[in-house]
Amino acid sequence: MKMNIVSWTKGAVTAVVLTALAAPANAAPANAAPPAATMLTIRADHAGAVINKYVYGQFSEHLGTGIYGGIYVGENSPIPNTRGFRNDVIAALKDLSVPLVRWPGGCFADEYHWRDGIGPKNKRTTRINTNWGGVPDPNTFGTHEFFDFVEMIGADAYVNANMGTGTAAEAAQWLEYMTGDQDTSLVKERKANGRDKPFKVSVYALGNETWGCGGNMRGEYYADQYNQWATFAKTAQKPAPLMLASGDRDGAATDFTEVLMKNRRAKMDAISMHYYTVLGSNWINKDDATGFNEEGWIRILANTVKMDGYIKKHDEIMTAAEKAVAADGPKNKVALYVDEWGTWYKPEPGSNPGFLVQQNTIRDAIVAAANFNIFHKYADRVQTTSIAQTVNVLQAMILTDGPKMLKTPTYHVFRMYKPFQDATSLPVEIKTGSYSYGSWTVPQVSASAAKTKTGMIVVGLANLDPHNTASILATLTGPVAGQVKGEILTAEAMDAHNTFDNPNLVHPVAFDGAKLEGGKLTLSLPAKSVVVLTIAP
C-alpha cells in the first residue's frame, strides 16, 4: 500500500494525512481496513496566539424568519417575550455566551437606510426586501431593537453600513447617532427615541460583498470608496470601533485582499472573507439538507476543509503586504474576518426559496467543529468569524415554528467549544489517517487545543469518518496533571437531526472514554462525532 503524505504547517497546527491510494476509486470505506491510529502532540508548554472570542460570532440578517418570528415577535405576541424578544431564544443564546452579532446584513445591509428603523414603530417606513423573498419589511426591528437584543444576550455589536445605496454622509451620521456623547442634533434624536447613553459599536463595516450584491464593484474602485468613507466615519467612542473593509468571495478569490492591502490610507483594522460550504463547485449544484447519501457527506466535508488553504493564502498575501511597510510596526497588522461561513443547501420543500430555510444535521456539527479547529490554527490572523445565521436561516443555531423552538446540532458544537473563547492556542501536531469515498478524500480527524485563562487545557476533536472509530494517541508536552473530562456529540444516521417532535435526538452527553497518564492521552473517537475534552490543572 502506497502512502501519500500531505503536510501543512501554520501557527498552532501541523498535520500529516496518510492516504491509501491502492484501493479502487469507488471502494466503499466500510470494506476498507480501518485507518491507522491518529497521533497527536499537544505542546502545552508553548503558547500560541489568543483565540479571540469573536471567532464564535453570529450573523443575523433581515432574511426570512431569522429576525421576525425567530428573534423578535413583538410585545403583543402570545409567544412569551420580553420587549418583543422571544424568551426561549434569548435564553438559548445567552447559554452560548455569544460574543458578537453582525447586523443588518449581508446583502440586505446595502439597501438598508438606518432612519427607516428608528422612532415610533407605527410610523416607520415599510420597504420591500428585494434580496430575500420580495416581502415587506416593516422596520420594527431597527437600531434600538438590535442593541437591545445584543445587550440582552451579553454580546457586542457588529454593524454593517450601507455602501451600496447609501452615502458616506449617511454612514457617518449613523455612527454619530449610535455612539455620540455630546449635545448634537443626532444625539438629541437618539435620546428622544429612548436611549440616553451611547450605544457601543465594536465593529463597523463599510459595505458587504461589494464585488456582488453590494454594488458589483472592482477591487480598485471599492478601495477608493472605503478610504473615503472611513475618513469621515468619526466617533468619540473609546476604544473606537474596529473598521472593516469588504473583502473576497468564495475563499479562492484574492483580488480584493491584494488591492486593499496595497491601498490602505484610512483606518482599516480588518478585511472580510466569505466562504460557504456547498456541494459542488458552483452555486447551482446544492445538496439536500437531509436524506443525502455518502457522496453528499464527503463532498460537503471535502469542501469544508478547503477553508484551511483559503485562509492560508490570504494570510500569506496580508503578511507579505505588511512586511513591505514594516516600518509602521505592530499597528500595521490587519485582521482577517471570516464573517460569513457555513453550509448552504437546497431550501426546505414548501418554504419560500428566498428564506433559505434548511435543516441541520450531525454533518453540520462536524462542519462547525472542523472550521473551529481551522480558525484556531490561524488565531494570529483570524480575529472574528460570523456563522450564517443565528436563527432559522442556513446553518442556524436555533429553529423556531410559532411557539416551538429547538437547538440544532450546530448549536451544541458552539456550546461545547465555549472554553476556546479567549483561550491561548497551543501548537498541535497531528498525524492522521484518511477517510475516502469515490474520488474524494479528507483527513479522518480534525483537532485543536488551547489553554484557558484558568489554566485548563481544552482539546477539540472531530471524526469526519462516518464509519470508523478513530484511535487517538496524544502526547502532551510540559508538566500536565489533573483529571480529564469531556462531552461528545454523535448520532447513528449521517443525517440525524432534531425536529419539533423530537427536539433532543442529537444532543451532547458526557464522555468518559479519555485517559490521561504520564502526559499521555488516549481515547477512541466514535465515527461522525465531535468531542471536547478539558484537562484541569
Active site residues: 209, 340
Taking alpha carbons only, the member of 470, 338, 465 closest to residue 29 is: 465
- The candidate with the shortest Cα–Cα distance to 397, out of 91, 184, 47, is 91
Among the residues of 75-128, which ranges form H helices?
87-95
* Rg from Cα positions in the chain: 23
Residues 6 or more apart from 397 whose CB is under 8 A from it? 58, 92, 93, 96, 387, 390, 391, 407, 408, 410, 411, 414
In whole angstroms, give the CA distance from residue 360 to residue 307: 20
DSSP letter assigned to residue 310:
H
The SS3 assignment for 180 reads coil
| CA distances, 389 to each of 59, 339, 340 (Å) | 5, 10, 8
Contact (CB, 8 A) for 496 and 505: yes
- How would you list the strands of the sheet with 484-490, edge to edge? 424-426, 445-451, 457-463, 529-535, 484-490, 509-511
- Angle, vertex CA 298, rays to CA 297 and CA 301, nearest 5: 95
What is the distance between the alpha carbons of residues 362 and 297, in angstroms, rounded to a whole number?
A: 10
Contacts with 391 (C-beta within 8 Å, 6 or more apart), sequence order: 60, 65, 66, 67, 70, 71, 89, 397, 398, 399, 400
Q: Which backbone phi and psi does 192 adopt, to 5 degrees?
A: -65, -25
Give the residue among 135, 142, 146 at the shortest CA–CA distance from 121: 142
Helix (H, G, I), strand (E, B) or coil at 109: helix
Long-range contact pairs involving 119-123 (C-beta distance under 8 Å, separation at least 24): 119/193
C-alpha span between 359 and 288 (Å, rounded): 9
